[in-house]
Amino acid sequence: MAGKNNRDRTDIRTIIGSELRHSKFGFITGVLSLVIATAVFVASMILLRGDELATERLMMEKEKELRVEMVQLEDDYRIIMRNMGYNVLILSSEQRISDLEREGYATSLINYDDVWELAESGITTLNHLLPVLQQKIFWREKDTEIYLSGIRGQVPVYAKPGHLTDDFEYRSPIMDRVPDGKADLGEEVAAHHNLRPGDVVTIRGEAFEVNRVYPRRGNRDDLTMWIPLDRAQAIFGTPGMISGILALECVCATGELGQVRKEVTAILPHTQVFEFSSLIAARADVRHRASRLHEEILQAELAHQSRLRTEKERLATILIAVIIAAAAVWIFVLIHNNVRERRHEIGILRAIGFRRHQVLGIFLGKSVIMGVLASVIGCMAGVAAGLHFAGYPAGGFEPVNGTVVAGGLLLAPLLAFTAGLLPSVIAANQDPADILNEQ
Amino acid sequence: MELKVAGLSKSYKRRKNKEVKAVDGISLEIANGELVSVNGPSGCGKTTLLLMAGGLMSPDSGKVLLGGMDLYALPPEERDRERALRVGFVFQQFYLIPYLTVTENILIPSVGSGTWSLSLRERAMELITRLNLDHRADHKPGELSTGERQRAALARALINKPSVLFADEPTGNLDDDNAEIVLDHIAGYADEGAAVLLVTHDRRVGNRAHRVYRMKEGRFSDN
Ligand SMILES: Nc1ncnc2c1ncn2[C@@H]1O[C@H](COP(=O)(O)OP(=O)(O)O)[C@@H](O)[C@H]1O
Ligand SMILES: [Mg+2]
């Protein structure tokens, strides 16, 4: 027998609770329909959001790819430019052009350290500094005149790490360094004396193994032999000195001719700078065209993705609307039938003094309880399904945001309230006399 | 007078605008402690009279005074309240709530009137015992016999100690033994000091009523 405590209190909640337990089919199908509506809503929102995030990621990857491609393109471009030579030449300010023309090489030297000063100055308008010591000499051993060039490889400009490998070497140097004890040959030098890689040549008493032979370039390079800088300095008797610095002007500087000159002479006041602007202009043009192409590809892809998303959003909207409508109709039918079934009970409740709002509360309370229960289950199911179908691994909650969850939690109770309101009002307004008068 | 009914009339509209005069100018007074029985054949207007007297149906004309209060002069919400506190109903079909236990069914009027209390619970237990429903207290109506159902319905009608009890054919579905029990309890409640209006065509009421009215076609007939 029931005890005399508050748990035994009979109130509206008792009525609602007992009724829900009593009509399990209606209760379960009602909750289920709301769960489905909520889950579909939440899952669709998550899928759409996940899709958006995936697109963003894709676009970011594409951009990164393009950036890599740009660097690649620049490298390719550099290889082309190698055949055209460098476009900036830095010489001693004392070098007279007439001497340069007459001798074919710079007669006034600068310090090898100058190239490092330039490299470490933070200058951004130059790339690929190549210190060169060059003279036209008579090659006694072969009875011919050649240009003998000492190079040590390019010195990176440290302000431009983008072009450098992890070892601070150029990704694709214009001019490869010459290994110790070896020599690189221009095409005509090699052809004329029938030299191939692996042969040993002697120059001024020093032996060098032929490292490689460059293809014909149609310029002075064909008559040149390259050896390591320090060996050239020893041969010429000018340790620590170089003829000048070859450099490649950065495309960013092409807008303003003379900018490089201003910057270089500020760092190395004892130098003069020669710029060859046609090369600069050609380079800028190549690069602009490439970047415009990339921009177009990116835009086309963006437009495609956005069209796809609009399509998906429209589909989701229709699906959600249909499911919500179905759930609403079902709740309406359930509560409406329930009201009809409970006609006599409503009559007697009203007869024994239940107010309209109490009857309303019983039926509306019932549908809202179904809604609240469904909102929790539906949200969890929707989040799980959404993440699953969006292809997120366990623990990945990236596309789940507060708005979606709040919307999902509110949807079912609001839906149940709205759908249950009309039949509940009908129940509350039934005239008890009409019901009790039926025989 | 606990219940005073004066010149009550009610017509129902049938199809084709034909009117049926269900109750035609009935007056009636019931004092505390008095059991009044209205007898008559089916369709003579008994239920209509009872619903009007109980505050559930507005009459076309006439007045109902409950404890001196003019019921139909009150706004509907007030009338609901008065009914919850002062009136009890028993019907032929019991109208128990199928998903609540007998105890919960008996206590349900306290939800409407907002009068739940521990002492009310005690009263429910007392009524359960008095009506011999102890073994049924936690059962649902579906598991009860018709006699037990009507006793449960009677307990529900009495839970708030109404000053007026209305019973409409309370024995219509009962066998003789159960009819006797229910009629005895209804009469007993009048003896406790309530005014009781019993409408029925059941002759088993016998001499329990202090006064008996015969009803025919909406009127009390002489005799
Ligand atoms: N809601 C209604 N609409 C039309 N006619 C009704 C309605 N209720 C009762 N009646 C008619 O009114 C008369 C009295 O009915 P009622 O009060 O139920 O009588 P009783 O309870 O004595 O059988 C009957 O002729 C019945 O058919
Ligand atoms: Mg009747």
- CA dist A436 and A344 (Å) reads 7
Band (pLDDT 50/70/90 cuts) for residue A394 is: low
Higher pLDDT, B20 or B113: B20
Using DSSP's 3-state secondary structure scheme, residue A136 falls into: strand
Residue B169 has pLDDT above 50, yes or no: yes
Nearest ligand, CA B40: 1
pLDDT at A72 exceeding the cut of 90 = no
pLDDT (average), residues A322-347: 91
A1 touching B, CB under 8 A? yes
Instruction: Look at residue A104 in the predicted model and tell me its pLDDT.
Output: 79
User: Of A211 and A396, which is predicted with more confidence?
Assistant: A211
Residue pair A19/B99 in contact by the 8 Å Cβ criterion: yes
Yes or no, beta carbons of A437 and B48 under 8 Å apart: yes
- A71 phi/psi in degrees, rounded to 5: -65, -40
Q: Which atom of ligand 1 is nearest to the CA of A439?
A: 18
Share of chain A above pLDDT 90, in %: 40
Highest mean pLDDT among A216-220, A248-252, A296-300, B153-157: B153-157
Q: Where are the domains of chain A?
A: 2-67+294-437, 88-275
Q: Which domain holds residue B180?
A: 3-13+21-221
The per-residue pLDDT for range A263-282, each reduced to its tens digit, is: 899 999 999 888 765 555 66
CATH number, domain containing residue B63:
3.40.50.300
Q: Write down the mean pLDDT value for chain A.
A: 84
State the closest ligand 1 atom to the C-alpha of B51, by its place in the atom list counted from 1: 17
Centre a 10 Å sphere on the Cβ of residue A94 and count the other Cβ atoms it contains: 14
**Whole-number pLDDT of residue A22:** 86
CB neighbour list of residue A190: distance below 8 Å, 6 or more residues apart = A196, A210, A213
Number of H helices, E strands in chain B: 6, 10
Looking at the structure of chain B, the number of domains it has is 1
pLDDT value of residue A280: 56
Q: Centre a 10 Å sphere on the Cβ of residue A237 and count the other Cβ atoms it contains.
A: 7
The dihedrals phi and psi of B74, each to the nearest 5 degrees, come to -80, 150
Region of poorest pLDDT, from A18-22, A155-159, A325-329, A354-358 = A155-159
Closest chain A residue to B157 measured between Cα atoms?
A352
Greater confidence, A166 or B185? Answer: B185
Instruction: Tell me whether B65 touches chain A (CB under 8 Å).
Output: no
Write the ipTM.
Answer: 0.89
With 0.90 as the threshold, say if the pTM is over it. Answer: no
B78 touches chain A (CB under 8 A): no
Whether the pLDDT of residue A4 is over 50: the answer is no
- Check whether A300 has a pLDDT greater than 90: no
Residue A5 has what pLDDT? 46
Tens digit of pLDDT for each residue in B10-49? 999 888 888 899 999 999 999 999 999 999 999 999 999 9
Which amino acid residue places its CA nearest to atom 2 of ligand 1? B12
Give percent of chain B above pLDDT 90.
81
With cut-offs at 50, 70 and 90, classify the pLDDT of residue A1: very low
- Range ranked top by mean pLDDT from A87-91, A218-222, A259-263, B25-29: B25-29
> How would you label A311-346 residue by residue, b for 16+ Cβ within 10 Å and e otherwise?
eeeeebeeebeebbeebbebbbbbbbebbeebebbb
Residue with tokens 């003579």: B44
pLDDT tens, residue by residue, A163-211: 677 777 777 677 778 999 999 999 999 999 999 999 999 998 889 999 9
